[in-house]
Amino acid sequence: MNATTRLVDIVNRSLDGPVVEERTFDLTHVAQGVQQVVSDHGIKANPDNIVNLDDDMADRVWEAAVDLFATCGVFSKDTGRVIMFDRDEIEQIVRDAPSEVTIGEGPDERTEMSRTLDDPRPPLLMGGPIGSPTPNELFVPITRSYVQEPIVDVACAPTLTTIAGQEVRTKSPLEILAGWEEAKLTAEARHLAGRPGIGTTGIMISISDLANLSATSSGYVLPRDMHTFGIISELKTNNEIFNKLAHTVLMGGIVDPFANPIYGGLGGGVEGVAVLLTAEMIALSVVFMATCCGSSPTHPFHFHSTAPEIMRATSLSFQALARNARLLTNLTCSPVGGPGTKTVLYEAIAYAAMSTVSGASRILGPRSATGVIAAHFSGLEARLMGEAAHAATKLTREEAEAIVQTSVSKWEHLQDQQPYGLSFPEVYNVETVQPTDEWLGMYEEVKEEAIGWGLPLDS
Amino acid sequence: MRSDWLAEIVDRSETGPYSKESEFDLILVRVVPELVKKHGLKFDPEVLVPADDDMADRLYEAGLELLSTTGVYNQTTERRIILTRDEIEEVVAAAPRKVVLGTGKDAVTMSHRGVESEERCVIHSAPTGTPCTEKYHPLILQSAAREPLVDCLGSGSVATYMGRPVIPGTPTEILAARLGASVAREAVRKAGRPGMHINDVATPLTAQGKFAAMDQAKGLRSSDAFLVSQMVELKTDYDQLSRVPHMQNAGMHVVDLLTPLIGGMGGGAEGTAVVTIAELLLGTVCYSASYHIFGHMSLMNVNNTDRMGLWIYSIGGQAIARNSPLLMINAIYCRSGPGTTDLLWEVAAGSVATTVSGLHQGGVGCTGGSETDVYTGLEARFNAQVCHAALGMSREEANGYVLEFLNHYETSLADPNRGKPFRELYDVELVEPNESWLNQYEEVSAEITTMGLDMDRGWKRALETSIN
Amino acid sequence: MPLNKWDGLRREINLGAVEASAAEALRLVEAGEDPLTIFLEGIEPCLSEIGDRFGRLEIFLPELMLSADAVKAIQVELLPMLEADGSDYMKKGRVVIGTIFGDIHDIGKNIVSVLLQVSGFEVRDLGVAVPAQDIIDSAKDFDADIIGISGLMMPSLPYMRDAISLVKENPELADRFRIFVGGGPVTREWAEMVGADGFAEDAVSAVEEATRLMKLVKGESV
């Protein structure tokens, strides 16, 4: 089925699918559905581990997720109907989904490939703070601080806080102006870093479909760039999301959506979130025609993705995906720590190791300080995250588990302390776009420490 | 004042005086008659092409006063964007006096035309406001694009995508928008004129739908344009305003579409003329338009070929032509449909009244958009021939012709012949008009030639003297 | 340990058993318990415990939603009795809540909505992407004491400020509604700058904030 026909088919299902009350969908289809399949398949995560070491459990999570998605579907808020696919269709579409994609152009071209658990190839590193707020004057230096890191394969930009001195207002002309500005500034950062062809995703300011379509047509977006959009938690959509998808499909862009389940939300705890996250990755492939399926499961109170229980669920889910499908899957590291703290570095190491040995094909971020504190992120933590991912390819899951546990023990007690650290100009020279000696020293120190734990960052 | 003052328009949209839309309408209803009276504006049903320079200037002044009194209503924020007289005058003075439309060998220059100007009209054509079926849309556009006198194409609108209704704001609108754009691009390419200016893709109604139609290779490009509409009367919203920065950034032309309603908020002919002027100024100030579609219509009959409609075209066109550099194209909304001589007489009247009053030609809206597929390239050819025959004509003479043309169709306006769809008027393989439609065209052309308009050589002379 | 007379009721609420909860509450009334006492001594400590357990992530949103449904069912049965007794127990506070225009995030807002309900507030949840004026209209229609607005996307925040201005700049509404805001990019400083009455860091603190605002509404010291 060609892409347009598939898209029309999905739209038609959203117009013809069964009618359900939204609350019933939330509570019965999703929440009780998750509980049901968790119980049916006997899903139980080992509370002592963060990195999953149980292949059979991963396979059961996969089966549970397919069961869940086949009975639950995706709810369209605009039509009040559920987009349903049966088990055969789901399996067929997932089988046919791309297992590699080329991103970027020229010397900066990279291929993202589906990975297995013991894959010796590292996941791609997408460096950047992914839509975190940034004042205009810091947009280029911050983006450049990531793009200039040789270990960064692809990049994602922050987002502007104002345009023409005014707050950006969605669905107004200011959002159009801001979207074009972000696209332009991202291109500028690529050029200044000497990597004009590096693949990017961005224009995160343009949350509405019209601003997104406008800015992606700006000419600043390369044909092999990625187009990202989030679906509505949990397993919901609307026409605006499909409009972005339709435009991306027709432009021939790389469809790079994400679904971020909330820990403690409708999926419940570790087991439920593992199954729900897996089902959402499947949904991204089946309903949202994803080339790459992404997530950053989120803590309900502290908004990070590195909490031990969240990493436990994430590892289980991504292993389920890696063992049972060839999807391109990515994870965004949203640490609670910010630049100038060791916390963010420990979190980046733990998240990279967990993701790498759990089969993720790309790691994004870090979106330091949970991505909500303006300009509290820098390229240096991405460097360490990339290095940790490369090093983790030399580890068994058991070895990685030990590293993750040690790392977590360093900052677990700080999760609710908001260790947001320092802003970019306090940790980088804004003109030379180089880290300060203090920040670099801290990075070196943590790196040495991690080598001591057995993470081969030196080889 | 500066060229990129859209952020200022948004700021005023957020901070201007708050009012309910109905309250804004009431302001308009009160102010317009005062201005008509103050400036002594008077519609004479026997003088549809007035040769009264002073009245044209007074009308311009009334329009300027109206806009600087009421401001523009932003429906999204429910606030009035207040504009001072000085600001309006400054922006209007700096508006383009000519624009290049299209690219490469197919580019044309559209220049400001004065009253009774010898300057040739640029001819746009499209199924204006007329819905097409998916099946015939490509052929209908081709029939226009291949007419040698047509300079620019509008892409028209299609109500379905693969048989499903196109619902604004849904992905079918995105799909249909991109398809519509590629059909238009293909039409000009097939006509051997790949760089011809395309002035809109009318299927999508939302901004995101318009943006989806942009594609350098297969859709609209920077030498093309999209419409930004005004809502009746003197209203805009963020969806419309959001199109402006997109097109400015992409280097596209912004086309301002205004459709004041005769018998609506402006009242009769004089009041609607005042509203029309104010809206032409609005489109210049808020939308930074390259050119304007002057598209007033009767509230009841959805046409502008009756006496009031023709008078507004003429006096409104003169007011703008004499007092500003703005570029205008008409949209001749007719009661009749193709395949009838009535339609051709309506087109002839609209064409002459606007040509001598400073407008370029924007195309024919058959049946006021009430029927589907009622457009053919032949009426575009006819429109072009009539207007070029009227170049340099005096207003008095033009008035005589318009009244004579009106005699041929005025009585049928109440109960018009809606004509036939494209497939019954054209050979759909050759994309050529069939004999009966061609005969009607030749019959009316001959009659007009007998009246003294040179249907055959007028356009040839125009092209000889034209810089394009 | 002797069986507490509220244990049965609390078990049903914890299970989210709608009908059984209502039935147990009615049984307690028939056994001679005063409806107000049932709420104050039976239900409130139970709800407080449920909120705390969610705060510690021992239970999750689905359990919260079901427990809220159970309490609502009890309210339906016991409310007429409370009113007949002239009690103002149910006047804990009325809240309209929604995610602001331009934003479709709903889980965080749903958690706040449910936590408020299990804490005894009457809540009208307007859903997501709600225009500023609609929030105000709903607050009037619902006769709310408090308006809660959530927003996770920066370009949506100007609309949140609009909603606050529509209340604070309107002399007829300025004292009628207390507004509190929250969500990813919303900070305490921003909330203060735009004139919000309250700010919630997360879902648990949202209940504390609503409780504080209700004291202001009632003219109590906070």
The answer to whether the CB atoms of C102 and A208 lie below 8 A apart is yes
Number of domains making up chain B:
1
Name the closest residue on chain A to residue C103, using Cα atoms.
A207
Percentage helix, strand, coil, to 5, in chain C?
A: 55, 10, 30
pLDDT tens-place string over residues C90-128? 678 999 999 999 888 888 888 899 888 878 888 999 988
Peptide bond into B233 cis (omega under 30): yes
What was the pLDDT predicted at C1? Answer: 46
Which residues in chain C are closer than 8 Å to A35, comparing Cβ atoms? 62
Do C16 and C43 lie in one domain? The reply is yes
Residue B154 lies in a domain: yes
> Is the domain of C98 the same as that of C77?
no
Does residue C66 sit in the same domain as residue C112?
no
In-domain check, residue C159: yes
In A, which residues are within 8 Å of C184 by CB distance?
Answer: 303, 370-372
Q: Is residue B82 part of a domain?
A: no
Cross-chain residue pair A169–C154, CB shorter than 8 Å: no
The rounded distance, in Å, linking the Cα atoms of C61 and A23 is: 13
Q: Which residue in B171, B173, B211 is closest to A217 by CB distance?
A: B211
- Substitution target in B249, B254, B287, B288 with the highest count of A β-carbons within 10 Å is B249
The answer to whether B16 and B80 are in contact (CB under 8 A) is yes
Domain-located, residue B40? no
Per-residue pLDDT in tens (0 to 9) along chain A, 459 residues: 678 889 999 999 999 999 999 999 999 999 999 999 999 999 999 999 999 999 999 999 999 999 999 999 999 999 999 999 999 999 999 999 999 999 999 899 999 999 999 899 999 999 999 989 999 999 999 999 999 999 999 999 999 989 988 889 998 999 999 999 999 999 999 999 999 999 999 787 788 999 999 998 888 888 889 999 999 989 999 999 999 999 999 888 899 999 999 999 999 999 999 999 999 999 999 999 999 999 999 999 899 999 999 999 999 999 999 999 999 999 999 999 999 999 999 999 999 999 999 999 999 999 999 999 999 999 999 999 999 999 999 999 999 999 999 999 999 999 999 999 999 999 999 999 999 999 999 999 999 999 999 999 987
In percent, the amount of chain B with pLDDT more than 90 equals: 87
In a domain, C116, yes or no: yes
Nearest to A221 by CA among A240, A248, A246, A194: A248
Q: With an 8 Å Cβ cutoff, are B242 and A171 in contact?
A: yes
- Locate the chain C residue with the closest alpha carbon to A179: C155
Q: Residue B3: inside a domain, yes or no? A: no
- Closest CB to B7: pick one of A164, A209, A210: A164
- Give the pLDDT confidence score for residue C153 in this predicted structure: 85
Position B54 in a domain:
no
The answer as to whether B7 is a domain residue is no
Selected for mutation to probe chain A from C61, C106, C150 (highest A CB count within 10 Å) is C61
Per the listing, tokens 């999750």 go with C60
Give the domain CATH number at C36. 1.10.1240.10
CA A434 from centre of chain = 26
Both C111 and C176 in a single domain? Answer: yes
C2 domain-assigned: no
Determine if residue A128 is left, alpha or beta; phi over 0 gives left, psi from -120 to 50 gives alpha, anything else beta.
left
The percent of chain A in helix, strand and coil, each rounded to the nearest 5, is 50, 15, 40
The torsion angles phi and psi of A83, rounded to 5 degrees, stand at: -85, 110
DSSP labels for B295-319?
Answer: --EETTT--S-SHHHHHHHHHHHHH
Question: CB of B270 within 8 A of CB of B225?
Answer: no
Subunits close to C (at least 3 CB pairs below 8 A): A
Same domain, C48 and C145: no
Q: Which of A173, A242, A247 faces B212 most closely, judged by CB atoms?
A: A247
Q: Measured between CA atoms, how close is C53 to chain A, in angstroms?
A: 11
Bridge partners of A329, per DSSP, are: A293
Neighbours of B432 (CB within 10 A): 15
The catalytic residues of C are 103, 105, 156
Which CATH number belongs to the domain containing residue C164 in this structure? Answer: 3.40.50.280
pLDDT of the residue at C184: 81
% of chain B at pLDDT higher than 70: 99
Amino acid at B176: A
- Decide if C17 is inside a domain: yes
Last residue in a domain, options C84, C110, C141 = C84
Of C63, C66, C155, the CB nearest to A207: C155
Q: Are residues C12 and C39 in the same domain?
A: yes
Give the model's pLDDT for residue B259: 95
Boundary of a domain, candidates C43, C64, C84: C84
Q: Which of C65, C84, C103 is the last residue of a domain?
A: C84
Interface test with A, best of C60, C72, C105, C162 (most A CBs within 10 A): C60
Asked, for residue C89, whether it belongs to a domain, the answer is no
Same structural domain for residues C206 and C145? yes
Q: Write out the residue range of the structural domain in which residue B320 sits.
A: 98-465
Strand B197-198 relative to strand B152-153, pairing: parallel
Query: How many domains in chain C?
Result: 2
User: Which residue matches tokens 């908001």?
Assistant: A418
Below-70 pLDDT ranges, chain C: 1-3, 89-90, 221-222
The counts of H helices and E strands in chain A are 16, 19
Same domain, C28 and C67: yes
On chain A, the residues whose CB falls within 8 A of the CB of C61 are 31, 262, 264-266, 268
Within a domain: B33: no
Q: Which domains does chain A have, with CATH numbers?
A: 100-453 (3.20.20.460)
Q: For residue B9, which residues of chain A lie inside 8 Å, CB to CB?
A: 173
Q: What single letter denotes the amino acid at residue C86?
A: G
Question: For the stretch A101-127, what's the b/e string if a residue is b when 16 or more beta carbons lie within 10 angstroms of its beta carbon?
Answer: bebbeeebebebbbbebebeebbbbbb
Are C112 and C64 within one domain? no
A368 vs A420: CA distance, rounded Å: 8
How high is the ipTM of this complex? 0.79
Burial class (CB in 10 A: 0-12, 13-18, 19+), A395: buried
Parallel, antiparallel or unpaired: strands B328-330 and B291-294: parallel
B369: DSSP letter = G
Cα separation, A313 vs A316, in Å, equals: 5
Q: What is the pLDDT of residue A218?
A: 81
What was the pLDDT predicted at C83?
A: 80
Distance from CA of A13 to the nearest CA of B (A): 13
Nearest in space to A444 (alpha carbons), one of A387, A389, A392, A402 = A387
Q: Does residue B184 contact residue B143 with C-beta atoms inside 8 Å?
A: no
Q: Are residues C78 and C101 in the same domain?
A: no
Residue B6 has pLDDT above 90, yes or no: no
CATH number at residue B431: 3.20.20.460
For residue C22, tell me if it sits in a domain: yes
Same domain, C55 and C101: no
Q: Is B22 inside a domain boundary? A: no
A154-156/A124-127 β-pairing: parallel
In which domain, by residue range, is C110 found? Answer: 94-217
Give C189: exposed, middle or buried? Use CB within 10 Å, 0-12, 13-18, 19+.
exposed
